[in-house]
Structure 1
Amino acid sequence: MANYLFLRGNRNKRFFIDIASELIQRGHHCFQMKFELGELLFKSGIKTLYAPSAVSKKQYPISDDELLTLPIYNITFKRTILKKRTSKSELEMYKRYMYVIDQYIKNNHIDVICLFNGYHWIDQVTKYIATKYGLQIRYFEDGLFRPYTITYDSNGINAKASVPKDPDFYDRIEVNEERYRKYLFHPENAELTHRTKESLIKVALIKLVSMLGAVFRLNPRLYDHINFWEASKYFVTKKLFSRREEDIIDWPAEYVFVPFQVARDSQIFYNSPNVKTMEMLLKVTVQAVKSVNEKENRNIKVIIKEHPEDMSRNSYHDLKQAYKQDETVLFVKKFNVHKLIKHATAVITINSTVGIEALAHHKRVITLGNSLYNIEGITSKCDQLDQLDEVLLQSLQKPVNTSRIDKFLYYLRFKYQVEGTINFPNKATAKNVVDRMLLED
């Protein structure tokens, strides 16, 4: 029997509660630490500490310099986007919470720490403590075949995932063709098909409660990239976007599809050493495509799809104006991503999950960043941006290794991912996740 500690979950605050409840039913001990006022709206039978109530002036013994080296999203965001330094008072706040977390881990003899994503300051300072004690860490994240899978990994998420990189590993995999064809993007468990739509209003209200908690010092300030104004813009934009008609486009004979990513996402901060903005992504892609067109006497276009989660923050107005007279470039806001992939000559991405969807269509995929699907014979990785034209040309000239891609996707979907849904509670998800946890633990 193990003692599990669950920390800050995703925006579905019941997700960790459901998993912990399933573990308890199987004889394990579970604990939870809550850090925001909105979390208190969710009752559970788990032993829980509301961390702000236990914070004092006592601090965990770690230097400011060492804290600043941790990949903490808030620190990175301030340094990269806001061009600000993290204040001494904020670092002291981290240390005070670290002291509480450290004491809670020791007093409850915790064996396993469960984190969601892992780059929030709460996750990073807890990971630091857990590593000192030699404790096991388990990472959760939205799945790669959304909305019916969940990422669960003891190593990390995205580029740090424990997905094998050896192409020979995948060549040895046997694929159940019927299972692959029917369930790659659909759930095998019928219970998961009866999901209710996530309530954006409910998510917004919970976030508002936590923001008010920070204002009245009932919980710490959790995010630097979200304030009331940003949250309000996001909510309104999301609502309006859902009612927007799809764009109408004239299909080019040949085009490279470039899916924009959330510009300030952890994928860009920590897994994209060469491309830090969508402007740069478009610039190097257009240069490469024009070079290939000139060498091959072709007329390949570039279609960019904006990321729906980024629209409240980035209109890309100046970027669109800069390329307004460029007949090579076409922007779309709302369009079925599978159609864009289906007709594409190739897909160029930093490390988006769209790359996985493109592989499912047997498309040539070129990555400019670090990704769990950077595997020989599956994708082409471009490490030197000035060589993207050569990488693109080589990719277009060689056949797609459909067999290896299918084996890789089969492993990813049916061996690596856990079937379940993040954004609505159900017993099937909790059971599947706990089955995997106990199998690996």
Structure 2
Amino acid sequence: MLANGQPASKVFLFLQGPPGIFARTVADELELLGCRTLRINLCPGDWFFWHDRRCASYRGSLEDWQGWLKAFCLENGVTDIVYYADRMPYHVAAAEVGADLGLTCTAYEFGYLRPDWITLERNGMSAHSLFPNDPDRIRAAAEGLPEPDRRHLYTYPFYAEAVNEVTFNMSNVLLKLLYPNFVRDKLYHPLPDYLSNIPRLLLAKRRNRNAAHLIDDVIAAGCPYFVFPLQLQSDYQLRYNSPYDHIAEAAEEVIRSFAKVAPVAAHLVFKLHPLDNGIEPWRKILRKLARKYGVKKRVYVIDGGNLDRLLRNAAGALTINSTTGIHALRAKCPTKVLGIALYDIPGLTCQKPLDDFWKDGTRPDRTLVEDLERLLARTIQVKGCFYTDRGRRAGARDMARKLVEGSVNLPGALCEAPPRLEKARQMGIATTFAEQMANRSKTELWSYAWRE
């Protein structure tokens, strides 16, 4: 406490943020509220977007990072650590340092209630989320809360995000000598990743036209069908919050079960992610698996088109842990989660084994879906975006206010311990920094194409 009885000013340490100036904007808003802010740059991309008096650089090894960070926090009186993408190895280590020192750690990411929302959670997300998974607790906490603001206020073109991403990641490749020990937590090297997107962007309109026709055909056939929207193979949530190293492992598990149990008239539709880079040969992979299990004529691969339309007419949806699961719940579609997801809650998603899902998938409780969204919006969602000036400032102001007030996850959505963590451990998911370090061979590949 200060002499006048007011609480001492908080000291917020920012680690990596989304490519761009959003993290710096949040820090500016915190300083307007009387807080001190610091930043540690880990790579050239960090420095490019933020290099003022508040910044320090770490150029040591990932192995030495925890010890260095602990000393930095003690020396500078850090009270809070803020980071984007909680399972990035540097941030996993930081969360453990924060827990050891009694600091408040807060993670943020793209919002669950997209578009125009940012997720802001105490501690971490998915397996490490402190958001409750007890439906009765969610209902009670959501009672009387207002409906989320569903207006789309901060539209931005794809290039606004792409320019920031390319600048950040290519800086780390071309200027690597400036931070020689930085470990890029990327599944693909940025150069083939970005180059492979060019033909897909050029052919996007044609793909969407073809996909729209195929969706029409699937719906018009009148047969029950199940939808599996694929995530990006490079999605860190896939790698660090599921038991799969590759999406094809999940796809094989699903196709094997579908072939064995699903009604003979049913079809299975895989829909590629709209930002898939084309490195993974999904059509080849999925057709090969369909042939292997004797369901080649019952499995479709759709590249483009409207996912919501598919979900509204589907007999069920499957996901590893994508936020598209919330879209499926909103569409009243029975949904099966294969990994760890915040919304994998009794009454919302199917809790039965996969083999039972095809014939007896449970529809989500409509009122519980509404309660979940109201509680999300009030406690761990911030209205705003990373890539427009207006959206960035709106999000940064609200985020700064919540950080200063200590109201993240409040009221009613702050468990004492992560309620999904034990399930993650049972699945064999790496949940600690030491476990991630032992698993480093899964990152930074030119291609992680399906192995036979």
Whether these two folds match at TM > 0.5 is: yes
CA contact (8 A) 1:272 1:370 kept: yes
Matches within 5 A, 1:294-333: 294=263, 299-322=265-288, 323=290, 326-333=296-303
CA contact (8 A) 1:204 1:235 kept: no
1:149-187 Cα shifts (integer Å, max 9, x gaps): 11111131123222211111233333678x45xx34x34
For 1:405, give the aligned amino acid: V
Structure 1 residue 195: Cα displacement:
7.8
In structure 2, stretches of 5+ residues that fail to align are 1-8, 408-452
Counterpart-to-counterpart distance in 2, 1:165 and 1:202 = 35
In structure 1, stretches of 5+ residues that fail to align are 56-92
Q: More displaced, 133-142 or 20-29?
A: 133-142
Note if 1:9 corresponds to 2:17. yes
* Residues 1:134 and 1:415: Cα distance change in structure 2 (over 3 Å): closer
Matches within 5 A, 1:258-269: 258-269=228-239
* Residues 1:228 and 1:288: Cα distance change in structure 2 (over 3 Å): closer
Note if 1:437 corresponds to 2:378. no
Counterpart-to-counterpart distance in 1, 2:363 and 2:115 = 31
* Residues 1:389 and 1:111: Cα distance change in structure 2 (over 3 Å): same
CA contact (8 A) 1:30 1:46 kept: no
* Residues 1:389 and 1:160: Cα distance change in structure 2 (over 3 Å): same
CA contact (8 A) 2:197 2:277 kept: no
Structure 1 partner of 2:424: none
Which structure's relative contact order is higher, taking Cα pairs within 8 Å and 6+ residues apart?
Answer: 2
For 1:351, give the aligned amino acid: N
Counterpart-to-counterpart distance in 1, 2:327 and 2:205 = 25
* TM-score, normalised by the number of residues in structure 1: 0.78
Note if 1:108 corresponds to 2:95. no
Equivalent pairs, count: 384
Counterpart-to-counterpart distance in 2, 1:193 and 1:19 = 20
Structure 2 partner of 1:229: 191
For 1:393, give the aligned amino acid: K
Structure 2 partner of 1:22: 29
Counterpart-to-counterpart distance in 2, 1:416 and 1:224 = 26
Structure 2 partner of 1:372: 342
Secondary structure of the structure 1 residue equivalent to 2:72:
helix
Note if 1:416 corresponds to 2:384. no
* TM-score, normalised by the number of residues in structure 2: 0.76
User: What's the RMSD between the two structures over aligned residues?
Assistant: 2.8
Structure 1 residue 312: Cα displacement:
3.1
Secondary structure of the structure 2 residue equivalent to 1:334:
coil
Counterpart-to-counterpart distance in 2, 1:321 and 1:163 = 38
Secondary structure of the structure 2 residue equivalent to 1:17:
helix
Structure 2 partner of 1:47: 54
* Residues 1:256 and 1:28: Cα distance change in structure 2 (over 3 Å): same
Note if 1:289 corresponds to 2:258. yes
CA contact (8 A) 1:6 1:32 kept: yes
Q: Alignment partner for residue 117 of structure 1, among 77, 85, 106?
A: 85
CA contact (8 A) 1:350 1:370 kept: yes
Matches within 5 A, 1:22-421: 22-43=29-50, 47-52=54-59, 55=60, 93-172=61-140, 173-174=142-143, 179=147, 183-184=149-150, 186-187=151-152, 190=153, 192-193=154-155, 198-215=160-177, 220-223=182-185, 225-237=187-199, 239-240=201-202, 242-246=204-208, 247=211, 248-249=213-214, 250-251=217-218, 252-253=221-222, 254-273=224-243, 275-294=244-263, 299-322=265-288, 323=290, 326-382=296-352, 387-395=353-361, 400-421=364-385
For 2:381, give the aligned amino acid: Q
Secondary structure of the structure 2 residue equivalent to 1:32:
strand
